[in-house]
Amino acid sequence: MTFSVIIPAYNCAGTLESTVRSIQLSGLYDYEIILVDDGSTDGTAALCDELSGKFAEIRCVHQQNAGVSAARNRGIDEAQGEYLWFVDADDTVDEGSLADAAKVAEEQKPDMLIFGMSFDFYHKGKVYRRENPVPPYDGAILLEQLKSHFKEFYECNSLTPVWNKFCRKDIIVEHKIAFHKDMILMEDFLFVLELLAHCENIYCVPKAIYRYKQAENEKNAFRRLERIDDLTKYMAPFEAAAKNLGGESVILELYKMLLTQRLYYAALKDIKRILNAQENSKYYQQICMPKPLALYIHNKKTRLRHRIAVAVKSSRIYKKAKGGA
């Protein structure tokens, strides 16, 4: 078997079937779909059983709720395919979009295949699609070439997620690569970094294939960030993995991005507390953050501008000016 598609499923009864259907129509062949029910309480478990009973290519396993990393690791253990592809239970791919990538994987046998993706942002029942930059290369490259252009790959979001990649299972098993169950944010990026160090041959398909559904509630990531007491300590495994790939320069950017996101939703008193906790961070000492009051005002203005932009684009006047109904 060539491909194992691993879908962690937790309380996703409303989206799982459309995700599975999009994979079936994607042009992928010689594949299995592994549904890992992670202790769902909304009917997802029954839907997994229904789909596995209906389609020969679908298998499902059930486990007590342990989180997305544990569910993906369970999928790795269950997989029989040469390549693993991790898919979220509310995302999709376009019809026929994977045919070429699947053919490349079967014929070229790269250690990892990377393709492009887009973000579908849902707001009040409407979809706003943002095409993400595709991998900066087209075709086969060596790991050493990727190391030389690590920042380019990082900045176009080709490295951070796990959903836009076919990964060789034998490399994952041989080097005991797994998703860290204690990570609550960006655990997929750490998995990719640790796996990449063992991938000599990589193939890039500069085409947006994966459709990532961005949650309407933007505060979910912030809530997870709040649970990270020591951001510098949390960054340590990322730094260790990135050093093996010549990607040390992006770690400071990653830290700044996480800290900025955490501050974005914070109140003034929380901004002071968060910044005070960073005083001894080796990363924080390399960046220049605004004073708490200035940062608080900036965040308020940014959120207000965002709300105004969304309201304007949803208005009848804007649609009429753009030639809409």
b vs e for 36-63, b when ≥16 Cβ sit within 10 Å of the residue's Cβ?
A: bbbbbeeebbebbeebbeeeebbbbbbe
Give 191-240 pLDDT, tens digit per residue: 999 999 999 999 999 999 999 987 655 556 666 777 787 888 899 999 99
Residues 85/5, Cβ–Cβ less than 8 Å: yes
Mean pLDDT across the chain, nearest whole number?
A: 86
- Which pLDDT does position 277 carry in this prediction? 80
- Which pLDDT does position 310 carry in this prediction? 56
Distance CA(111)–CA(23), nearest Å, equals 22
Contacts of 256 (CB under 8 A, 6+ apart): 283, 287
- Which pLDDT does position 309 carry in this prediction? 61
Residues 158/136, Cβ–Cβ less than 8 Å: yes
Distance CA(218)–CA(122), nearest Å, equals 11
pLDDT band at 50 (very low <50, low <70, confident <90, very high): very high
pLDDT band at 273 (very low <50, low <70, confident <90, very high): confident
307 or 241, greater pLDDT: 241
Average the pLDDT over 149-177 and give the result: 94
- Which pLDDT does position 221 carry in this prediction? 63
pLDDT band at 319 (very low <50, low <70, confident <90, very high): low
pLDDT band at 120 (very low <50, low <70, confident <90, very high): confident
pLDDT band at 118 (very low <50, low <70, confident <90, very high): confident
Give 292-317 pLDDT, tens digit per residue: 656 656 666 666 666 556 555 555 55
Average the pLDDT over 47-63 and give the result: 97
- Neighbouring C-beta atoms of residue 319, cutoff 10 Å: 12
Give SS3 for 158.
coil
Residues 50/25, Cβ–Cβ less than 8 Å: no
- Which pLDDT does position 278 carry in this prediction? 82
**Torsion (CA) 207, 34, 199, 187 in degrees, nearest 10:** 90
Sequence ranges of the chain with CATH classification 3.90.550.10: 3-216
Candidate from 64-78, 102-116, 248-262, 293-307 with smallest mean pLDDT = 293-307
pLDDT band at 35 (very low <50, low <70, confident <90, very high): very high
In percent, the amount of the chain with pLDDT more than 70 equals 82
The DSSP code for 146 is H
What fold is seen in the domain 3-216? Answer: Spore Coat Polysaccharide Biosynthesis Protein SpsA; Chain A (3.90.550)
Give SS3 for 39.
coil
